[in-house]
Structure 1
Amino acid sequence: MVALRGEGPLKLGGTLRVSVAGAESNVAIGLARLGHRVHWTGAVGADEAGELVLRTLRAEGVEVSGATRDATAPTGLLLFEPRLPEVTRVHYYRTGSAGSRPAPAAVERVFATAPPRVLHLTGITPALGPAARATAGHALRLARRYSTLVCLDVNFRARLWTADEAAEVLRGWLPSVDVLIASGDELPLCLPGPAGDPAEDAARLLALGVREVVLTHGADGATAFTGAGGPHHQPAVPVRAVDPVGAGDAFVAGYLSALLDGADLAGRLARAATTGAFAAASRGDWEGAPTRAELSLLGAPPGTVVR
């Protein structure tokens, strides 16, 4: 989507900063900055807003040859409205957008050309409508065919669909998911029956075949559960937070980056906490994502000048 960021209540007018946003594209940029080859597949309108999205992704080193331009639908729009120092309201304009109806053929071309090691999906795409839901489901079937690891970030958005709608889709996806990332209140969406405490829910998900369940706690860090050994907790990396938007996507990018590098569970969580902290300490959805060379900067003493 194109993202417009205000500096106060939208009804009062004022200036808006233009950028792009989207959970999957945020993760794609985060991974590309860490040196990985990344392909983003989706749809934008055949308009200037769509060109901005594709141009931004290309500039960040993300491959977009599988993206499509829809001449019959506009590029989606997202408005950010800061209301309090730590509270931002978002307004979606995505119904009927090009991104709500991506083409399955584009996903097929990517898999046929170079099957990816990891397919990353979020619970946002299927919330956009039947076409997006069907294409995401098709991507899951292709991942199974090509033995591609599947990472799902639940990323529930109540403004896009109801909890019942989300649960029906996500529970159907669960047999195809290898790595599940969610907050404690999102885990029940993936499970039939009554919810337990988050640790119990994670254990149930592992019993259903998910290989790794990563439970995010915001400022309290994250905990990963696997079938081998007990859970591993990673505290958040302390930073002066200026904008929490995009921190979750940066966390996912760090986790997948370390997974692709062959790091163990502790290493994956540590890198994820670091990349998430970079995002929280920077304004914007993806702008603060670190490069691999910058990962060590958060350990530098306050006031350090890097020359």
Structure 2
Amino acid sequence: MSTVVTIGETLALMSGTLGPLQHSPGMTLGMGGSESNVAIGLARLGVDATWIGKVGADALGDLVVREIAAEGVRVVATRDPDAPTALMIKERRTALETRVYYYRAGSAGSRLTVQEVDFDLVRSASLLHVTGISLALSPSVAEVIGEAVRIAKAAGVIVSFDLNFRSKLWSRERAAAAYQRILPHVDIAFGGADEAVIALGGDGPPLQLAHGLIELGARSAVVKLGAAGAVAFVGGQDYEQAAVAIAAVDTVGAGDAFVAGYLAEVMAGEPPAIRLATAVTAGAYACLAPGDWEGLPRRSELAGLSNAEPVTR
């Protein structure tokens, strides 16, 4: 299949056991980041994927690079000797509530510059995927994303953009302005309903939100609704997809899994209805295991959630 390039920060991840973080008897060490999560999800679904980013010249940077590469993703990572790899800590406060704490100020990933990116990788790709997190991270990273999108559009590369609002990085007002600047250059826009509201400055039913993203300039729009499924407006037509009923273990990363599922079917040339069905299934799979990306499905597993007896013999 054709190549997908993602650009963004990946962080080291520490996860506590169920309950208050301060009483956790131990922590597990891993990594995660929206753009690399999508790249891993695509690789598991058989799509050639590349992740571009920057990490510290430290042990956590080694972890990030090793883990992403081990999933079959091409890693193009600059190493920064003067700034650390960012860290996030995940607290499973209750079985129904997860809290995430970020330690990314001054991180290596936030110091990525246009001089450090090989934009020929973007120019030769079939699809570029970026997120609003990168736009919020720092002026230099926002410049990287802007240049990548400009180059992609000039080369006829599909541009995918996930709004991915992070309140700890910027205000709703700054995010809305940035979304409105980039959406006219976006072929596939993703966002949760709450994120679409930020971009539009007003609420409405899910399909109305999707239409609103089109009015802001995106060529197609997908609104993620979590347990309620998803809707899309593609080629002048509305699409709706119910969610897969599951008992969720960890919902962090489900949105990235959804995006990976959708983009994998874009790369396979499938119609919007198939894209949405795969997207919600991939998102559901991601919720069935702890971790941001560990539960992402392989293509052979996509039918598993509809099986009456999920046992492999």
* TM-score tier (shorter): over 0.9
Partner SS state of residue 186, structure 1: helix
Q: CA deviation at 1:110?
A: 4.2
* CA distance in 2: counterparts of 1:279 and 1:214, whole angstroms: 19
The RMSD of aligned alpha carbons is: 1.6
* CA distance in 2: counterparts of 1:170 and 1:108, whole angstroms: 25
Q: Does 1:296 align with 2:308?
A: no
Q: Which residue of 2 aligns with 1:204?
A: 212
Q: Which residue of 2 aligns with 1:188?
A: 197
Which range is displaced more, 72-81 or 130-139? Answer: 130-139
Partner SS state of residue 287, structure 1: coil
Partner SS state of residue 130, structure 2: strand
CA deviations 1:47-83 (Å, max 9, x no partner) are 010010000011000001x210011100000000111
Q: TM-score, normalised by structure 2?
A: 0.92
Q: Does 1:246 align with 2:256?
A: no
Gap regions ≥5 residues in structure 2? 1-10
Residues 135-284 of structure 1 aligned to structure 2 (within 5 Å): 135-191=144-200, 194-229=202-237, 231-284=238-291
Q: TM-score, normalised by structure 1?
A: 0.94
Amino acid at match of 2:117: V
Gap regions ≥5 residues in structure 1? none
Q: Which residue of 2 aligns with 1:9?
A: 20
Amino acid at match of 2:25: G
Identity of aligned residues (%): 46
Q: Which residue of 2 aligns with 1:306?
A: 312
Q: Which residue of 1 aligns with 2:72?
A: 61
* CA distance in 2: counterparts of 1:157 and 1:43, whole angstroms: 20
CA deviations 1:183-229 (Å, max 9, x no partner) are 112113333x6555443332233234322111111101001112423
Alignment coverage as a number of residue pairs:
302
The structure where strand makes up a greater share of residues is 2
Partner SS state of residue 52, structure 2: coil
Alignment partner for residue 90 of structure 1, among 95, 100, 103? Answer: 100
Partner SS state of residue 19, structure 1: strand
Amino acid at match of 1:214: V
Q: Which residue of 2 aligns with 1:105?
A: 115
* CA distance in 1: counterparts of 2:206 and 2:130, whole angstroms: 22
Q: CA deviation at 1:161?
A: 1.2
Contact 2:229 2:241 in 1 (8 A): yes
Q: Cα 1:279–1:13, aligned 2, differ >3 Å: closer, same or farther?
A: closer
* CA distance in 2: counterparts of 1:110 and 1:18, whole angstroms: 34
Q: Cα 1:201–1:109, aligned 2, differ >3 Å: closer, same or farther?
A: closer
Partner SS state of residue 74, structure 2: coil
